[in-house]
């Protein structure tokens, strides 16, 4: 179970509002945004947003270029000192384990990286593993999977503009089984379907007998920040279980968002 939230009276609302503004700046183009735009996006009055941004600017956490605010030089410096995943994993692990226990299968969470790929950063296991003799039956953290032949990879590709996908992937894609999609145009059609339905599936495409199901996790601005995946052998977890799994995964995704962004500001 996720630990109970701290009492509301311990939350400093000015800090939470300042963090909202930082997140909204991060969601803007690199050229930044005005105080009016940021205040509206964060749900904060303009005078309050101006005072907070002024304080953040004096601290080096934001910079102002003309009338636009951007993330600051000192925020970048501090970010380089942080472990990018330790705190994230600690918050999500109990919920990943809950999902793994529910279906008695392997669950993982991946995070987009700066190289148009995914970092698999957390995992949880049911009472039995995936059940195949490959790396998918072992601890997976740190491993990389082909984007066109993994459900999480397909979800990532579906977030990209089609022209970027066409540039990123070769015209002939590597085959891992006889069911792997190797034609780039066929993959593009599936990516459009993923955009419409909100999840990705592979069925015997990375390994014979492996079915994987992935859902995106988004922040308040709609940006995908992670992908939740169930990996299972097809003899235990067939396509008939996908609707039930998708429904429960969405509940876990909603709770993951709450666990990652507890916001006590009014």
**Domains in the chain, CATH or no CATH each:** 8-81 (1.10.10.10), 86-260 (3.30.450.40)
Sequence-distant (≥ 6) Cβ neighbours of residue 36 within 8 angstroms: 46
Q: Give the residue with greater pLDDT, 134 vs 118.
A: 118
Q: Are 176 and 135 in contact (CB under 8 A)?
A: no
Complete edge-to-edge strand list for the sheet that includes strand 224-233: 118-124, 106-112, 224-233, 210-218, 200-203
Q: Average pLDDT in the 72-89 region?
A: 84
Percent of the chain surpassing pLDDT 90: 67
Sign of the dihedral defined by the CA atoms of residues 217, 56, 29, 21, in that order: positive
Predicted TM-score of the model (pTM): 0.79
- Examine the pLDDT at 1 and tell me if it is beyond 90: no
Q: Are 39 and 48 in contact (CB under 8 A)?
A: yes
Q: What is the pLDDT of residues 206-216, one digit of tens each?
A: 999 999 999 99
Q: What is the pLDDT of residues 211-263, one digit of tens each?
A: 999 999 998 778 899 999 999 999 999 999 999 999 999 999 999 998 887 65
Q: Average pLDDT in the 131-146 region?
A: 58
Backbone angles phi, psi at 85, to 5 degrees: -130, -15
- Examine the pLDDT at 177 and tell me if it is beyond 90: yes
Mean pLDDT of all residues belonging to the chain: 87
Tokens 């101006």 label which residue? 50
pLDDT of residue 128: 64
pLDDT of residue 140: 66
Closest Cα to residue 127, out of 242, 251, 232? 232
Measured CA to CA, the distance from residue 261 to residue 209 in angstroms comes to 37
Q: Are 3 and 20 in contact (CB under 8 A)?
A: no
Tokens 């397909």 label which residue? 154
Q: What is the pLDDT of residues 82-115, one digit of tens each?
A: 777 778 888 899 999 999 999 999 999 999 988 8
Maximum Cα–Cα distance across the chain: 61
């Amino acid at each position: 179970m996720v630990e109970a939230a701290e009492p509301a009276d311990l939350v400093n609302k000015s800090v939470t509002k300042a963090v909202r503004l930082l997140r909204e700046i991060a969601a803007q183009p690199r050229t930044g945004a005005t105080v009016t735009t940021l205040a509206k996006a964060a749900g904060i009055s303009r005078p309050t947003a101006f005072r907070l941004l002024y304080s953040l600017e004096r601290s080096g956490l934001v910079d102002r270029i003309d009338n636009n605010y951007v993330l600051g030089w000192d925020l970048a410096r501090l970010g380089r000192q942080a472990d990018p995943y330790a705190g994230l994993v600690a918050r999500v692990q109990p919920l990943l384990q809950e999902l793994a226990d529910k279906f008695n299968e392997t669950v993982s969470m991946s995070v987009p990286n700066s190289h148009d790929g995914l970092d698999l950063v957390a995992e949880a296991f049911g009472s039995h593993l995936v059940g195949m003799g490959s790396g998918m039956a072992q601890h997976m953290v740190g491993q990389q999977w082909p984007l066109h032949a993994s459900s999480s990879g397909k979800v990532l590709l579906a977030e990209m503009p089609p022209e970027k996908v066409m540039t990123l992937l070769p015209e002939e894609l590597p085959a891992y089984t006889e069911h792997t999609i190797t034609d780039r145009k066929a993959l593009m059609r599936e990516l459009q379907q993923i955009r419409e339905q909100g999840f990705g599936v592979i069925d015997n495409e990375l390994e014979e007998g492996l079915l994987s199901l992935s859902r995106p996790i988004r922040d308040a601005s709609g940006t995908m920040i992670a992908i939740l995946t169930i990996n299972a052998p097809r003899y235990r977890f067939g396509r008939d279980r996908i609707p039930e799994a998708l429904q429960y995964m969405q509940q876990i995704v909603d709770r993951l968002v709450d666990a990652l962004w507890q916001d006590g500001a009014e």
